Structure 1
């Protein structure tokens, strides 16, 4: 292809940029190949129960809602486990910045699949936080004490022994975790389809797990810069 030329760039820059472009094109192809493999996964296990969550209803009062009802008109449901349990004074800053970016996308996601943000705090607390944060489009639900996060690794309580050691989870302690899980309606049953298990894979030195990077605009923007990500990690608030 005929490449672009920016004002006053050197031949050395253009040669290096063209080589990088080849790598970027190859990466694009690989990302799509991985996405195709994901779409081709066989359906996972049937959900063990129709979990009962809590959300704010149309009359602005809390109401119980079953997992099967969260699908709405869709056959696909995306659930994101948000690290904001009742023991936390503030939610996880990594989760929070991700949801800051997803709030605008949520109105579009709803055209193709159902999306809900799951956390262990009460629905009143979650709704108050969403209002403070300016999240106008993200639907939040409370686990309301059900076992969803335990069963689908939104917390550490069912981590196998090796994973507990890798994540330095002390015996007798547990905490909430971040993970996307995707579910599919199939013949009247709800089946698990995919989870962002890279959240729990061993990381490379000086990297976080990067399991949600493809839906996270912050990291994508920083990766475009000369400084890159560095050791930056977002905060809930910047004073």
Structure 2
């Protein structure tokens, strides 16, 4: 018989609950080991390909709520001194879309609040294909304050790094780049997006930066195959 894993107990819990919970706890411990091992493999990846172009983005600066500045910035300019990694999220907000992707917007709602913390260690930017003025307008409506929002309307970044398909369909790609010896290299992408999930699975390729599902996974109801986040809950269009 397996020994209890710790002595902490909760009010009125049964022995059946504790037995099942310990079984789950062992699975959680194994998952933690696997997460750490996977992160180590990710860190150990050799350098990916050199970025072929120092892409020129339309840029509104780093404070979308407070500025009307429009400028252009190159990919190399997104690396601050002392921080050699750059994380770029491809936001599904193309010029032909009536509105941005609600799921992407949910991700960015959370990421906006984390930017002051993340910026202590790494560089983060968000790229969409729509014109920068349209991106700024939505960011202001959304109340985003910290995201560094860029437009790839006039370059090939989105197609080169799979934030856009050949037919113009927008994709939620997450890419990481590294500055090394004066050059910029691609190091990692959310390639799970391109691998078909097993039956009943979500793709999960950007779950690592999306706390919504992590919280729902803790509940007895779990995720729902019939529910996805909405841009606006006031209209009752996302009740589930």
- With normalisation by structure 2, the TM-score equals 0.90
1:67-96 CA distances to partner (integer Å, 9 max, x unpaired)? 000112221111100000111111011111
Q: 1:25 aligns with which of 25, 29, 39?
A: 29
Query: Is the CA contact 1:46–1:192 (under 8 Å) kept in the aligned structure 2?
Result: yes
The residue number in structure 1 matching 2:9 is 5
1:94-138 CA distances to partner (integer Å, 9 max, x unpaired)? 111111111111111111111000001111111111111111111
The residue number in structure 1 matching 2:42 is 38
- With normalisation by structure 1, the TM-score equals 0.90
Displacement of 1:208: 2.6
Task: Look up the SS of the partner of 1:185 in the other structure.
Answer: strand
Q: 2:80 aligns with which of 72, 82, 105?
A: 72
The residue number in structure 1 matching 2:238 is none
Displacement of 1:203: 1.2
Q: Return the alpha-carbon distance in structure 2 between the equivalents of residues 42 and 12 of structure 1.
A: 48
Q: Return the alpha-carbon distance in structure 1 between the equivalents of residues 24 and 200 of structure 2.
A: 23
Is 1:137 aligned with 2:131? no
Displacement of 1:3: 3.4
Displacement of 1:149: 0.7
Q: 1:47 aligns with which of 45, 51, 58?
A: 51
The residue number in structure 2 matching 1:197 is 191
Task: Look up the SS of the partner of 1:149 in the other structure.
Answer: helix
In the TM superposition, what are the counterparts of 1:152-191 in structure 2 within 5 Å?
152-157=161-166, 173-191=167-185
The residue number in structure 2 matching 1:233 is 228
The residue number in structure 1 matching 2:97 is 88
Q: Return the alpha-carbon distance in structure 1 between the equivalents of residues 113 and 94 of structure 2.
A: 24
Q: Provide closer, same or farther for how the CA distance between residues 174 and 54 of structure 1 changes in structure 2, counting only shifts above 3 A.
A: closer
Q: 1:108 aligns with which of 117, 123, 127?
A: 117
Q: Return the alpha-carbon distance in structure 1 between the equivalents of residues 186 and 161 of structure 2.
A: 9
Displacement of 1:57: 4.3
Runs of 5+ unmatched residues, structure 1: 158-172
Is 1:149 aligned with 2:140? no
Query: Is the CA contact 1:52–1:144 (under 8 Å) kept in the aligned structure 2?
Result: no
The runs of at least 4 aligned residues of structure 1 exceeding 6 Å deviation read: none
Query: Is the CA contact 2:61–2:148 (under 8 Å) kept in the aligned structure 1?
Result: no
Q: Return the alpha-carbon distance in structure 1 between the equivalents of residues 214 and 130 of structure 2.
A: 30
1:119-172 CA distances to partner (integer Å, 9 max, x unpaired)? 011111111111111111111001132000111100111xxxxxxxxxxxxxxx
Task: Look up the SS of the partner of 1:192 in the other structure.
Answer: strand
Runs of 5+ unmatched residues, structure 2: 236-240
